Amino acid sequence: MAATRVTIQNNGSIRIEGDFSLHDESGREYGLGGRERISLCRCGHSEKKPFCDGSHKRHGFVSECTAYDLPEPVKKS
Protein backbone atom coordinates (compact mmCIF):
# COMPACT_ATOMS: atom_id res chain seq x y z
CA MET A 1 0.00 0.00 0.00
CA ALA A 2 1.16 3.55 -0.76
CA ALA A 3 2.34 5.82 2.07
CA THR A 4 -0.56 8.15 1.25
CA ARG A 5 -4.15 7.17 0.49
CA VAL A 6 -6.61 9.59 -1.15
CA THR A 7 -10.31 8.66 -1.10
CA ILE A 8 -13.02 10.56 -2.98
CA GLN A 9 -16.05 10.19 -0.73
CA ASN A 10 -19.48 10.07 -2.38
CA ASN A 11 -21.47 13.22 -1.58
CA GLY A 12 -18.62 14.48 0.58
CA SER A 13 -15.01 15.41 0.92
CA ILE A 14 -11.66 14.17 -0.34
CA ARG A 15 -10.04 12.17 2.48
CA ILE A 16 -6.23 12.07 2.66
CA GLU A 17 -4.53 9.64 5.03
CA GLY A 18 -0.92 8.71 5.69
CA ASP A 19 2.36 10.54 5.25
CA PHE A 20 1.73 13.79 3.35
CA SER A 21 2.09 17.56 3.44
CA LEU A 22 -0.29 20.18 2.07
CA HIS A 23 0.85 23.43 0.42
CA ASP A 24 -0.83 26.50 -1.02
CA GLU A 25 -0.14 27.79 -4.53
CA SER A 26 2.83 29.81 -3.29
CA GLY A 27 4.44 26.75 -1.74
CA ARG A 28 3.64 27.64 1.89
CA GLU A 29 2.84 24.59 3.98
CA TYR A 30 -0.41 24.27 5.95
CA GLY A 31 0.16 23.40 9.60
CA LEU A 32 -1.80 20.21 10.16
CA GLY A 33 -1.26 19.94 13.91
CA GLY A 34 0.21 16.44 13.65
CA ARG A 35 -2.83 15.01 11.86
CA GLU A 36 -2.33 11.93 9.71
CA ARG A 37 -5.83 12.22 8.22
CA ILE A 38 -7.63 15.28 6.83
CA SER A 39 -10.65 15.97 4.63
CA LEU A 40 -10.59 18.54 1.84
CA CYS A 41 -13.71 20.41 0.68
CA ARG A 42 -15.17 19.30 -2.63
CA CYS A 43 -18.49 21.20 -2.53
CA GLY A 44 -17.08 24.74 -2.34
CA HIS A 45 -19.17 25.79 0.69
CA SER A 46 -16.68 25.21 3.54
CA GLU A 47 -15.86 28.20 5.74
CA LYS A 48 -12.43 26.63 6.36
CA LYS A 49 -11.24 25.96 2.79
CA PRO A 50 -9.42 23.97 1.70
CA PHE A 51 -10.58 21.81 4.63
CA CYS A 52 -14.03 20.25 4.88
CA ASP A 53 -16.26 21.56 7.67
CA GLY A 54 -19.34 19.47 6.86
CA SER A 55 -21.09 22.23 4.86
CA HIS A 56 -21.86 19.74 2.06
CA LYS A 57 -24.50 18.19 4.32
CA ARG A 58 -26.35 21.50 4.76
CA HIS A 59 -26.16 22.43 1.07
CA GLY A 60 -27.34 19.13 -0.38
CA PHE A 61 -24.10 18.46 -2.25
CA VAL A 62 -24.53 15.33 -4.35
CA SER A 63 -21.62 13.95 -6.33
CA GLU A 64 -21.01 10.24 -6.55
CA CYS A 65 -17.67 9.08 -7.90
CA THR A 66 -16.70 5.61 -9.03
CA ALA A 67 -13.11 4.73 -9.84
CA TYR A 68 -12.11 4.34 -13.48
CA ASP A 69 -8.94 4.20 -15.54
CA LEU A 70 -7.66 7.29 -17.32
CA PRO A 71 -6.46 6.87 -20.90
CA GLU A 72 -2.73 6.99 -21.63
CA PRO A 73 -1.41 10.56 -21.82
CA VAL A 74 -0.94 11.96 -25.30
CA LYS A 75 2.74 11.97 -26.16
CA LYS A 76 4.13 15.30 -27.37
CA SER A 77 6.28 15.16 -30.49
State the average pLDDT for the chain: 95
pLDDT in tens, 22-31: 999 999 999 9
| DSSP per-residue string spanning 53-71 | -SHHHHHT--------PPP
pLDDT at 69 over 70: yes
For the entire predicted model, the pTM comes to 0.86
Percent of the chain at pLDDT exceeding 90: 95
Report how far residue 56's alpha carbon sits from residue 44's, in angstroms, rounded to the nearest whole number.
8
Residue 20 near residue 35, CB atoms below 8 Å = no
CATH homologous superfamily for 1-65?
CDGSH iron-sulfur domain, mitoNEET-type (3.40.5.90)
Mean pLDDT of 10-14: 96
Alpha helices per DSSP H over the chain: 55-59
Going by pLDDT thresholds of 50, 70 and 90, the confidence category of residue 53 is very high
